[in-house]
Structure 1
């Protein structure tokens, strides 16, 4: 089992701000997204967030989290996609640190975004 904490700390404290130059606000947004995901996963697996392992953050946990965001939290598809982008970014970081997780990372990164519509002032709809 892979301990999750060192990867989370390295991603949030080193990779994002120092290597990628992410702003403080971006880091806080990513931290919030991970906190929500870990709280959901911990409840799903009936453990404390500090006891989660990398193996428990599988594709079914991510898709369940996306459903939770929309149905329970009332988030829009756009917010769901933003949270999913954070998860994908974190997992892309993990794939270089934990080679045994390559298949898990591939499956999670393959989860599609959900389409969402916005209404343009002219009244037309645009899908993205």
Structure 2
């Protein structure tokens, strides 16, 4: 079976770009991997797209927004965690702008998704 374009780009992003070009820490790369494991799980469970069929064309702004909502509504992630996941996705799509410029419009649509404001807890003195 031939790997999908998504599989190839994600593998390069996690194994070459992040550690070699960006010099990110192992912990940061692990956090990014977790984001993509969750995203793949979401695409399988909610969009019925198996991991071996998941292609770049399936990744739209609408699917990313639905994924972020799923994190909060079904996985009970905090807004801060949602924003960490969004930051990992944004990093991947900034990378894809240069790797796959033919999809630049879609990548920029995804990059326009804003982080949610988090509520600050009042500290007690």
Could you state the TM-score of these two structures normalised by the residue count of structure 1?
0.89
Q: Pick the aligned partner of 1:32 from 31, 34, 42.
A: 34
Per-residue CA distance 1:58-95 (angstroms, 9 max, x = gap): 00100000100100000011100110110010011111
Higher relative contact order (CA 8 A, sep 6+): 2
* Structure holding more strand per residue: 1
Could you state the TM-score of these two structures normalised by the residue count of structure 2?
0.91
| Runs of 4+ with deviation above 3 angstroms | none
Whether the 8 Å CA contact 2:40–2:51 is kept in 1: the answer is: yes
> How many residues get paired?
122
SS in 2 for 1:119: coil
**Structure 1: which 5+ residue stretches go unaligned?**
124-128
**Structure 2: which 5+ residue stretches go unaligned?**
none
Give me the CA root mean square deviation. Answer: 1.4
Per-residue CA distance 1:1-56 (angstroms, 9 max, x = gap): x7111110110011111111111111111000011012112333312112101010
Deviating more after overlay: 40-49 vs 66-75: 40-49
Counterpart CA distance in 2 for 1:106 and 1:20 is 21
